[in-house]
Amino acid sequence: MKQLARKPFFLALLMSLPLWIVFNNFIVAIMVALLVAFLISMCYSLYAIKQAKPKADAPESKTHPKK
């Protein structure tokens, strides 16, 4: 799945065939497949960026100690 998430156009082509049967319309199937494939790719990219971010970037508390 990781390889397909990196290539959204190829994933859309694979998804368009079953969607063509479901929707019985190739134009609608390819449009839905493109939207879903790019959404999956975007989500995977955000997940990969979040995993690569070091833990040190966590925001520190901005509260000042009372005197």
Backbone phi and psi for residue 65, each to the nearest 5 degrees, phi listed first? -65, 145
- Read off the pLDDT of residues 8-63 as tens digits, 9 standing for 90 and up: 888 898 999 999 999 999 999 999 999 999 999 899 888 888 888 776 555 665 66
Q: Which residues does 10 contact at the CB level (< 8 Å), separation at least 6?
A: 4
The whole-angstrom separation of Cα 67 and Cα 26 is 70
Q: What is the pLDDT of residue 49?
A: 87
What angle, 0 to 180 degrees and rounded to 10, lies between the N-to-C axes of helices 8-23 and 26-52?
A: 140
Local structure of residue 55 (DSSP, 8 states): G
